[in-house]
Amino acid sequence: MKRRIAIAAVLVVLVAAGAVFAEVCLSPYVKRLAGPEKFLYISAVDADGRDNDFLAVVDVSLPSPTYGRVVNTLSLGSAGNEPHHMGWSDDRTKIWVGTLLSKKLFIVDVAADPSRPTIVKTIEDISAVTGLHGPHTYYALPGRMLLTFLSSADGNPPGGMAEFTNDGELVRVIKNPADSPYAYDVAVKPDVNRMITSSFTPLRNYRKPLPQWDMKDGGNTLLVWDFKERKVIQTLTTDPVPLEVRWSVRPGKAHGWTNSALGDSIWFFAQGKDGKFATKKVADLGKGCLPADLRQSPDDRYLYVSCFMKSEIQAWDVSTPDRPRLHDTVVAGVSPNMMHVTGDGKRMYVTNSLLSTMDYSEKFWVRLVHIGPDGRLKVDPFFDVDFTKFPSGAARAHDMLLN
């Protein structure tokens, strides 16, 4: 009876809490949006590297007269930084934006006026602070931000992670182990106390034009960490360059997926009954896909893959998690890259710049793909934000956050 009372209480609390919009690509510690998105923030690299990089604000509030337009830009104050990924603070008041070719890191306030972000702190030399270079993933922890870094301060492996307070003070640095020195993404599954990190390539490689890259200078491992202990407990192997780490969103489930960029594949990772994790290749994305991003639907049913080289977005049905089935494909434009699925799972915003050293199209844009109740994808013919016509010229649109 007591157990029933407790369950009833939890249900009452959940009902009382009302609907929230869970963007499953975000850290579970980030506050959820209480309604549909109004603004889309986009990290933008000046395409020819001569003008200042910036953060673009696109109005995505459907009733707004400026819907689908860039309504503001926030200059990052200099050129050639390659602002790349971004992340919300846990209370969703600030955005952290880092750079891959310079050493800057910006903390941007969007609480005072969501349409007019302002820089509240700039760390000019993040390498001097951390001994690392190339902040990549910004993963909110309660009151803190966990960052992955692609390289050490000299641009070589090992990469690692650094943890900061929300106001940008360093808490600790954790370097990758010598036998698995490459770093990229991180994702935490708090209810199973596990964290997984993935592996890309360091600055010494990615700063060169793509044809000059050493394709062997990259990782093929996932590291499984005891999250509370911040300790590596297992090294898993995949095809080369596993990028995004996506845990199943179901409570208590200790499995997920990653996209191998050079293997053109999806890999499944899962914890067995003995507590140990194992990986296996579960989907072949087609030769030459170069899966640059991997996203999920909020109901844990679909994975979305952007094939950067094949200019296609694929939806995979993962109702059976270790047996994905190709469900649909759509062409949003040339070289789709980052995707951002809304909390209700009905819309997906898409950009098409990966990295200035890797881009092969000069037509940069942000587009919208609608996701039907049947999981089918359809490009919105009216939503097309042109990123080639800023006063400073074209800009490479990369990562996105919604507010």
Partner 1 sequence: MDRRQLGALAAALLVGAAPAAWGHQPSPAASPGGRLTTAPSLAVIRPAPDFALPDVAGADVKLSGLRGSIVLLSFIYTSCTAACPLLTQRMAVLQGRLTEARLLPGEVTLLSVTVDPERDSAAVLARYAQAFTASPRGWRFLRSEPDRLGPVLARYDEWTKRLPNGDIDHPARLYLIDRAGRIREIYSLGLFDERQAFLDIQALLREPR
Residue 267's nearest CA partner among 306, 222, 297, 224 is 222
The radius of gyration computed from the CA coordinates of the chain, to the nearest angstrom, equals 20
Considering the complex, state which of residue 76 and residue 123 has its C-beta at the smaller distance from partner 1: 123
Q: How far is the CB of 164 from partner 1 (least distance, A)?
A: 10
From CA 338, how far away is CA 349, in angstroms rounded?
8
Q: Which amino acid is at 362?
A: E
* Binding window for partner 1 (CB under 8 A); candidates: 118-126, 164-172, 240-248, 390-398: 164-172
Residue 212's nearest CA partner among 314, 91, 358 is 358
DSSP code string of 76-131: -SSSS--EEEEEE-TTSSEEEEEESSS--EEEEE-SS-TTS-EEEEEES-HHHHHS
Tell me, by CB under 8 A, how many residues bind partner 1. Answer: 45
Considering the complex, state which of residue 61 and residue 361 has its C-beta at the smaller distance from partner 1: 61
Q: For residue 210, what are the contacts with CB-CB under 8 A and spacing of at least 6? A: 357, 358
Considering the complex, state which of residue 154 and residue 191 has its C-beta at the smaller distance from partner 1: 191
Does position 193 interact with partner 1 (CB under 8 A)? The reply is yes
Counting every residue written for the chain, the total comes to: 403
Does position 229 interact with partner 1 (CB under 8 A)? The reply is yes
Residue 390's nearest CA partner among 86, 54, 111, 65 is 54
Does position 165 interact with partner 1 (CB under 8 A)? The reply is yes
Does position 262 interact with partner 1 (CB under 8 A)? The reply is no
Does position 270 interact with partner 1 (CB under 8 A)? The reply is no
Considering the complex, state which of residue 230 and residue 363 has its C-beta at the smaller distance from partner 1: 230
From CA 402, how far away is CA 67, in angstroms rounded?
14
* Binding window for partner 1 (CB under 8 A); candidates: 10-18, 337-345, 351-359, 377-385: 10-18
Does position 12 interact with partner 1 (CB under 8 A)? The reply is yes
Q: Which residue ranges make up the site for partner 1 (CB under 8 A)? A: 2-3, 5-6, 8-10, 12-13, 15-18, 28-29, 31, 90-91, 93, 111, 141-144, 163, 165-167, 169, 171-172, 190-194, 226, 228-231, 233, 254, 271, 275
